[in-house]
């Protein structure tokens, strides 16, 4: 394989893996935190506004890890710096 196809294969496979793995584990974490928040709201309905606000902030923090993986895979597919480098070298 030449350089271009190696980079293409590596980028595509890595993009798929990073999004899939990076979606799995934040989903597990979010499910755990939502279930805990629901059970604590069921126990203490008075504290629901505070729990909900903290839950939202926490969910956003957890979700941002998934978003980082997504951004990395988007960069690998649409704005790959190595790919651009190789292509510009070839065209010279």
Quickly count: other Cβ atoms within 10 Å of residue 30's Cβ.
Answer: 16
Three-state SS string over 32-62 comes to HHHHHHHHHHHHCHHHHHHHHHHHHHHHHHH
21 binds another protein (CB under 8 A): no
Which of 4, 34, 47, 74 touches another protein (CB under 8 A)?
74
Which of 3, 39, 64, 84 touches another protein (CB under 8 A)?
64
Burial category of 58 from C-beta neighbours within 10 Å (exposed 0-12, middle 13-18, buried 19 and up): middle
Residues 39-58 that bind another protein (CB under 8 A): 53, 56-57
Which of 2, 45, 78, 81 touches another protein (CB under 8 A)?
78
Residues making contact with another protein (CB under 8 A)? 53, 56-57, 60, 63-64, 67-68, 70-71, 74, 78-79
């Amino acid at each position: 394989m030449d350089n271009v196809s190696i980079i293409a294969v590596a980028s595509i496979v890595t993009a798929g893996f990073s999004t899939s793995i990076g979606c799995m584990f934040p989903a597990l974490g979010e499910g755990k935190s939502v279930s805990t928040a629901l059970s604590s709201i069921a126990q203490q309905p008075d504290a629901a506004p505070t729990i909900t606000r903290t839950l939202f902030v926490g969910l956003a923090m957890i979700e941002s890890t998934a978003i980082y993986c997504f951004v990395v895979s988007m960069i690998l597919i649409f704005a790959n710096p190595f790919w651009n480098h190789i292509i510009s070298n070839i065209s010279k």
